[in-house]
Amino acid sequence: MNLLAFPAGLLLLAGNAFFVGAEFALISARRDRVEPMAQRGDRRSQAVLARLEHLSPLLAATQLGITVCSLALGAVTEPAVAHLLASGLDAAGVPHDAQHVIAFVIALGIVASLHMVLGEMVPKNLAIAGPERAARWLGPPLFAFARLARPFILFLNAFANAVLRLLRVTPSDELASAYTPSELGALIGQSRQEGLLHQGEHELLTHALELSVRTARTVLVPSADIVTVPWTVTATELEKFVAETGFSRFPVRAPAAGPGREQGTTAELVGFLHAKDVLGIPEDARDEPLVPRRLRPMVRIPVDLRLDEVLRLMQRTKSHLGRAVDAAGSTLGVVAMEDVVEEFVGEVEDASHRGAADSRT
């Protein structure tokens, strides 16, 4: 009995290590790293990639294997070790009544330590150190075990999902493989520290990442800083505004806004004029109003819209200026495409920098 118990214990310990390693490998493996290997024709990677979409039954299979191996390891190995220790304790003159208790405690400590170190910690850390490689080698045997134990695993998985629903938690069969913005930022920073990214590349990626978390509110030009032109502005007057301010685009006030360059509010803006709108206008028409013939539309932009979505919206509508509005529809300011782009690539310098007619410049 004792001679068979130790080989059986080693097999059970190896089985426990296998299931622990497979579990952590599947949890830690990233789809974006497995896919290239699968596309190159690696059959093991193809099998792993297909199973990542149905992860819950596989995790149930690993838990079943770990539980069976752990219980069997204790049942088989602990009595054998305790029996050997009891013989030694008897030879050492330990009282017979205390031999069993002492042998049991020592045997339990030995078996538990081996189980924890060799059956849990070592395979777990090996799998985490190289999850994709571990998944390729441990995955196929696990898949075979899962097929053999499928009826029991389905029952366990359904029972676990029912418990989760009672706790108002939605069960998930697929492993999430997307990074959060904070995780991406940490990866970009680490890549810069290790010299994998140049300073310019680091800044570009950082700005691009910020587009997904910053909103139009961060780049809008407030109402008080907007330089507008009246509905009746002429080519001659617009040229003067361009010369005085250096701006290239000017929001246009509605007819009721009244005279004066800075009167009115952004709620009265109906569009904008570009400096190039005065080009090619005959001399005899330079004192005629440019609106509505030259008026360009201003897209409506929710103030809490993310900058990446703001950029797509302005590109889709081919608008260089937009009105930033709150949830109630009130206009809070103006958003210029140039300002959004600068959040992505850094400051853009041109002959007429600051296209949004911002009186702060």
**pLDDT for position 125:** 94
**pLDDT for position 261:** 40
Task: State the Cα–Cα distance between residues 317 and 117, nearest whole angstrom.
Answer: 62
Spans of the chain below 50 pLDDT:
1, 257-267, 351-355, 359-361
pTM (predicted TM-score) = 0.52
Burial of 9 (0-12, 13-18, 19+ CB in 10 A): buried
> What number of other Cβ atoms are within 10 A of residue 260's Cβ?
10
**pLDDT for position 238:** 84
Do the beta carbons of residue 197 and residue 188 sit within 8 Å? Answer: yes
Our CA dihedral for 184, 185, 187, 190, rounded to 10 degrees, sits at 180
**pLDDT for position 284:** 77
**pLDDT for position 149:** 92
Task: State the Cα–Cα distance between residues 221 and 44, nearest whole angstrom.
Answer: 55
**pLDDT for position 86:** 79
Task: State the Cα–Cα distance between residues 340 and 216, nearest whole angstrom.
Answer: 8
Task: State the Cα–Cα distance between residues 110 and 344, nearest whole angstrom.
Answer: 59
DSSP state, 121? I
**Residue pLDDT, tens place only, 102-143:** 888 888 899 999 999 999 999 999 999 999 999 999 999 999
Task: State the Cα–Cα distance between residues 229 and 276, nearest whole angstrom.
Answer: 15
- What residue spans define the domains of the chain? 2-166, 181-210, 216-345
Query: Which residue is it, tokens 């134990």?
Result: 149
Task: State the Cα–Cα distance between residues 361 and 354, nearest whole angstrom.
Answer: 7
Task: State the Cα–Cα distance between residues 322 and 255, nearest whole angstrom.
Answer: 19
* CATH no. of 216-345: 3.10.580.10
**pLDDT for position 260:** 41
**Residue pLDDT, tens place only, 321-334:** 998 988 888 888 89
Structure tokens at 233: 């502005």
Longest C-alpha distance within the chain, in Å?
124
Structure tokens at 255: 């007819």
Alpha-carbon Rg for the chain, nearest whole angstrom, is 35
**pLDDT for position 263:** 42
Bridge partners of residue 335, in order along the sequence: 322
Task: State the Cα–Cα distance between residues 274 and 355, nearest whole angstrom.
Answer: 9
**Residue pLDDT, tens place only, 254-299:** 776 444 444 444 447 888 888 887 777 887 787 788 777 788 888 8
